[in-house]
Structures are given as structure tokens and as C-alpha cells.
Structure 1
Amino acid sequence: MKGEWKTHAIGRHLVDVPASAKLVESWDYDNDSLELLAPCGDVQFSHLVSHREAQLRKKVQKSGRPTFVDRTPLTRNSVALVSWTLREAETSYLMDAYFRVVNNVIRYPKEHISVNEKDKIIDFLKRCSEKWQEVPAGQIPDGIGFVVGNTILADNFPNYESWRLLIKLEGKPDVTLEVSSFVGAAEEGLRQRAGGILARMLGMAAGLSQLRNHARPVGPIQADEILVAGTQNGKRGYGFKWEAPGKSYSLAEPNLNVSLEVRESAYATNRESFSSDDEALELWDTLVNSIRLRPGAV
């Protein structure tokens, strides 16, 4: 695939992507989702938090008590709004944190926090609020940290963190291309898990063939890949998968996945995907070969 490429930082990794592609990102930290909100100044931030607090204050528990519990200041002008998670019971909290990172705002709701864990989680949120930094436009961040858009949580706190990057290729709406990572390890490698299913698929589907099925390390990352393609009614379909199984509890060696698909759709030809297997493989190899841990990230 011709055209310019750029290096993109996400989580603790770097990946090269086509410069013309649209990127859709999502992130989890300590098993809860991070939401990057629109940049705003002090006044807008105050209104944002106050509006959310007013919403919570309108709600009432089944007991008749307010759902809203308190507003807890964090560091660097960040704040956490504490409320009851369920209307029917007062046994767990929702802690809705809003982190300020210069003019950036990150919302981080943590649900179902038990009453006796409240102080521990507040301390954790204060630690997070101290660690957020802005990443200057066009720069790849240095040092320890988990990258979220143009911000970085400069910490190596051991936790279950993950990210997902959906790459929407310009002029190729029929292609689904995704890279993802999560802290954890697969019990079996990709080829061990997929072996039987793949054999049945190849035996049952007319025109389906295996392009690759082998170990595919990328630098120090041990991984497997399975690439399948097939032609039906004149249209070429693809199912590509690359996976590094990862190590348990390792920020440096998480489970990594890349997948590419061209399946049945509203498009009757390959004009909206790939002109040939060579074009699909060129794109695939360029992207997969670029995946690496960001230097100093852990």
C-alpha cells in the first residue's frame, strides 16, 4: 500500500499507521474506561463538573437519602464526585473522577467500589491526578507512562490496563483493521487455539485458502500469525490475525492482537478494499512489523 505513514503512540506501545487513516481509540486503566473529553479552560471545566454534580444531586436513593455523597478534591485541580452506584442499595460507590491535564480533561468513572475501599481508591485517584502530563503536539512521549491521546499517565502502577486502536483506511471502507493490547496472557498460542477450527474452515469453504500459518515474532515480541483468504462471487475476502500471547501481570509484555478483515458487505467488488493479495499483505506486514514497546515506557 503506497502513501505516507506515521508513528502513533498508544498505551505503552508505538505502531505505524497510514497518515491518511482515521484513528478511533479507546483505553482502560485498572479495568475501567478512560474518556478523553474536549479541551477546555478553567471556567468550562468548572461548569462541566458542576453540571455532572447537579445531575447526581437530583437522584434519590430508595431509602430517601441523596444519591450524591460528596465532592472530593484531587491534586492539580482535578476532582472526584462520589455517589452511590445502585439506587436500591448503599453498599458501593461510583467515583466519577475528572482529571485536568493542562487544558485537557479525562473522565475516569470507577464503579462498584465497596464502602470499605473508599479511602484506598481516593488515594489511587490522587496518585493518578499527580501523574498526568500533556504530550506536545507531534511528539512521541519519553519515559514511563500510558499514553491516552495527547496525554500520558506517567506511572508504571501494576494494573489491568488495555487499549484498542481501530484504523479506518482512506478509500477502503470495506476493510476492518484493528490493533489491541491488554495486560494478561493467553493460555494457548494463536495457532494452538485456531488449529482445529481453521482446518474445518479450509475443508468446508469453497475457494478459501491459507496464505500463512507460522510463528511471526516482531523484534523481541514472540507471536503467531494466521492469514486466510477466499473468493466468492468474484469478491476477495480476507481474515488476517497476529497475536502475541503476552505474560501475566506484565506491563511490558501484554497480550497484543492485530486483525484485518474483508467480509461480506454492501460492496460487490474489491474496489473498496484491496486490488490484490500483494496489496493486502504489504499493508499488513508494514503495520505488524512496526509494533514495539515505547522506549522507557515501563
Structure 2
Amino acid sequence: MLEVKRFYSAPRAFAALILIFICQAASFESGATDMQGDSNRFYFGRFSFQVPTTGDGTWSSYKIAQNKIQFISKNGKKDIENLVKGAIERINKLHKSGYPAYDQTVSLEGGGAIVVSKSNKYNFDIYYLTSKNTLYRQQVESVSLTGFEKSVQITRDINANIHFRNPTTPPPDSTFAIEAGYLQIPLNKYPEQVSIGLPITTLPGIHIIFDTRIIGKPEPGLIARYEERTSGGMTKLLKKVLSSSTLMRKRKVTITDLPFEELLVKTTAEGRVLYSFRLEYAGTPGKSLEPYTVIELSTLEKGKSFSSDEEALEFWGRLVGSIERI
């Protein structure tokens, strides 16, 4: 809901890095990789990086004020009328089964709209229409009766600051990149979150995960968590996994003037070499330009992968070296 607390606490995303290998024991091809293939730059939230992939099959989630913003149309002016009409019809149909009733439609500057339903709380079905005719949707649930005006104002603020962007074009400095657009919202004002799953089309056996969010309170760093979990009383399962794993690198490194930590691990499962590389910044509480950030490379169950440690490290080095803040 739009009126709740402003920032997230960083999750314990590193539950047990080594144990990921247990789920990756299936086969994949090994062989020479096309490491010289063309790379493309991608813009996610407050960061960008470059990888040799087309971007096909990318999974993405962008959240502002704790609610997902989804790109839905390049022909917004044509589509929005039917979408708003359909939302109202859906609310009326569900109301017959005891769900909230349709309350009103609030117009937004530029042609967007908020379809409001109400019971003991409000629900918003929001449509943002940019000046370049792209359309986004955001759903907000459980807005308190007293928080209605404030939530509408937040929606108007987002609406006034959402803009179209060609996906290959960099957004303006200090903005928040979303699919086919960007948000020019004030810094440190709203919770922000991005979660990305990026297949590497030139290396089908490799997958990149990128996650970033504003935090309220930092938690122990990547290296501290790793050292805690690999010392002292370990389970038999973890000991077994560690016996076939090699720590390739563990270090602190400054990237875009932020203190990241890096952990590179490989393991052998059924005679195959599997990689799991992770780069993480713990984040600065409440800071849009210093969010909790993690980028992780892992080996998938199938598909061509790296032919050697040197090739894996070279790929990772170019990826990390390409990271920039927007």
C-alpha cells in the first residue's frame, strides 16, 4: 500500500550460497564460448551494466512505493479506455461475490486514471499514460479510509514523473530506469526496488540475477555471512558440498564509489564444473543512490557454459567492470 513505511530492510538473500549447487546437478554443455560477441547495455533502476545478450527472456519487476509498475502498451491512448472500462466491469462482477464495490474513477494529468474500489479500505487500479503514448499499470491494495487523499497525491506525483525511454537509450542522470521508460522522482522519497532475471543468449547455460532496493537497516555483509556459515558447527550436508567446492575469490572491492563485497565459488557435481559468483553492496539506509545491490552469476541446468576458470573469470570481470550508476 502507498501509505506504509517508506523503506525495506535488506533481506538475508544469502541464505546459504554454497547450497545452491545442490540444485544444479543436472547436465550442461561445456565448450568454447563466444566471449567476443556483441554486448548490450541494460538499464535497471539506478544502475546499468553491459553483457553479451539480446535481453530475450528477461524477467523483471520494478516497484515504487512498494507496488509494482508494469509496462503494458505502446499504444496507450487507444488502449486505456478499454482497460479502464474492463477494470470497472471486473470490480462490479466481483462485488456480487462480496468483493469491494466500484467507488469512482480519478483522472490523472495526461490522460491516465485511477479506478477506485472500496469496502472498509480502498483499492487502486492505476493507469499511467506518458506523453509518448506508453501505458503503465500499478495496483495498490488496502489503502486506509483516512489515507485516501495522501495515496492519490503519491499517485499523482508518480504520474507527473514517469516518462518514455527507448530501451537502448540511457535515462537522464539520477533517474530510476524502468521497462521502456524512467521515473524522475525526488531522491530518497519513496521505496524503490528492482528484481531482474537476465538469460545470457550467447551462453545459454549462464544466468544473471540483479536485485536492488532502498533499505531501512543494513544487515551483515556477504563475506561476514559466508564466514559465519562455513565455520563452527556445519551440517553434514554443507560439509559434503564444501568438500567438492573451491573458493576462487573473496574480497572487498570499490565499484562506482560504493564498497561492494565479492564471493566467487565453483563446485563439481557429477563430474561437471558449476560456478556461482556474487557481488553485493549492503546499502545505505534511505538513500536512493546507495541501495542494497546484488548481482549474481550462476550456472543453469542445461546449455553451453564456460570452458575454463579463466573464461569464467574473464566474463565476470567484464560484467563487473561495466557497472555504472545512472
User: What is the TM-score with the length of structure 1 in the denominator?
Assistant: 0.88
Please give the secondary structure, in 2, of the residue aligned with 1:155.
coil
- Within 5 Å, give how 1:199-210 maps onto structure 2: 199=231, 200=234, 203-205=239-241, 206-210=243-247
Question: Displacement of 1:179 after TM fit?
Answer: 1.2
Contact 1:202 1:209 in 2 (8 A): no
Q: Which residue of 1 aligns with 2:168?
A: 138
| 2:294 aligned with 1:260 | no
Structure 1 residues 111 and 41 mapped into 2: Cα distance closer, same or farther (>3 Å)?
closer
* Identity, % of aligned positions: 22
Q: Which residue of 2 aligns with 1:12?
A: 46
Measured in 2, the distance between the counterparts of 1:189 and 1:44 equals 46
Please give the secondary structure, in 2, of the residue aligned with 1:216.
strand
**Larger deviation: 113-122 or 22-31?**
22-31
Q: Which residue of 1 aligns with 2:314?
A: 282
Measured in 2, the distance between the counterparts of 1:60 and 1:229 equals 54
Q: Which residue of 1 aligns with 2:75?
A: 40
- How big is each residue's C-alpha offset from its partner over 1:118-174, in whole Å with a ceiling of 9 and x where there is no partner? 011111111111111112463212244211122111112512111022110115333
**Larger deviation: 200-209 or 275-284?**
200-209
| 2:211 aligned with 1:189 | no
Measured in 2, the distance between the counterparts of 1:275 and 1:190 equals 27
Measured in 2, the distance between the counterparts of 1:235 and 1:159 equals 45
Measured in 2, the distance between the counterparts of 1:93 and 1:19 equals 42
Please give the secondary structure, in 1, of the residue aligned with 2:258.
coil
Contact 1:242 1:258 in 2 (8 A): yes
Contact 2:52 2:202 in 1 (8 A): no
Q: Which residue of 2 aligns with 1:121?
A: 151
Structure 2: runs of 5 or more not aligned:
1-34
Q: Which residue of 1 aligns with 2:197?
A: 166
The amino acid that maps onto 1:166 is: G
Higher relative contact order (CA 8 A, sep 6+): 2
Question: Displacement of 1:222 after TM fit?
Answer: 0.5
Structure 1 residues 214 and 41 mapped into 2: Cα distance closer, same or farther (>3 Å)?
closer
Measured in 2, the distance between the counterparts of 1:280 and 1:141 equals 30
Structure 1 residues 66 and 198 mapped into 2: Cα distance closer, same or farther (>3 Å)?
closer
| 2:125 aligned with 1:96 | yes
The amino acid that maps onto 1:181 is: T
Question: Displacement of 1:116 after TM fit?
Answer: 0.5
Measured in 2, the distance between the counterparts of 1:163 and 1:142 equals 18
Contact 2:163 2:181 in 1 (8 A): yes
Equivalenced residues, count: 283
Structure 1: runs of 5 or more not aligned:
85-89
Question: Displacement of 1:207 after TM fit?
Answer: 2.4
Q: Which residue of 2 aligns with 1:212?
A: 249
User: What is the TM-score with the length of structure 2 in the denominator?
Assistant: 0.80
Question: Displacement of 1:2 after TM fit?
Answer: 2.2
Measured in 2, the distance between the counterparts of 1:48 and 1:219 equals 41
Contact 2:37 2:202 in 1 (8 A): no
Contact 1:59 1:68 in 2 (8 A): no
